[in-house]
Structure 1
């Protein structure tokens, strides 16, 4: 049986990415940043998706 990694809250994602919690809420509102799910009134993140998002190369200016 495979175990599922628990979802992260904004505190865990903030610590992992090194950004303020407020920025995560701004990113959600602007529809940017790592993929997020709303569970009840809470924002939750799939750790593997946050890691994949963080590893994406930055867009280069032309």
Structure 2
């Protein structure tokens, strides 16, 4: 089963909701450590391309299986 991602750029709050994270600080920690999905800034706002988020999830599944 492959859940459908929204057809728009995602916010850190969207990732918190999707992955049931404790807070947006987790998303920002991922970004600082370069361990989360690739994001980009538009002004002061952080966004994520749903395709990049899906690729990141898939890479996490591959790493878990190895």
TM-score class, shorter-chain normalisation, is 0.7 to 0.9
Kindly report the root-mean-square deviation, in angstroms, between the aligned alpha carbons of the 2 structures: 1.9
Query: Unmatched 5+ residue regions in structure 1?
Result: none
Any idea what the Cα deviations from partners look like across 1:35-60, whole Å, max 9, x if unmatched? 00011001100011101211222257
Which residue number corresponds to residue 10 of structure 1?
12
Hey, which bits of structure 1, 4+ residues long, moved more than 3 A? Answer: none
Any idea what the Cα deviations from partners look like across 1:7-60, whole Å, max 9, x if unmatched? 111111111222231110011111221000011001100011101211222257
Q: 8 Å contact 1:17–1:54 — kept in the other structure?
A: no
**Of Structure 1 and Structure 2, which has the larger fraction of its residues in helix?**
2
Query: Unmatched 5+ residue regions in structure 2?
Result: 1-6
Aligned length: 57
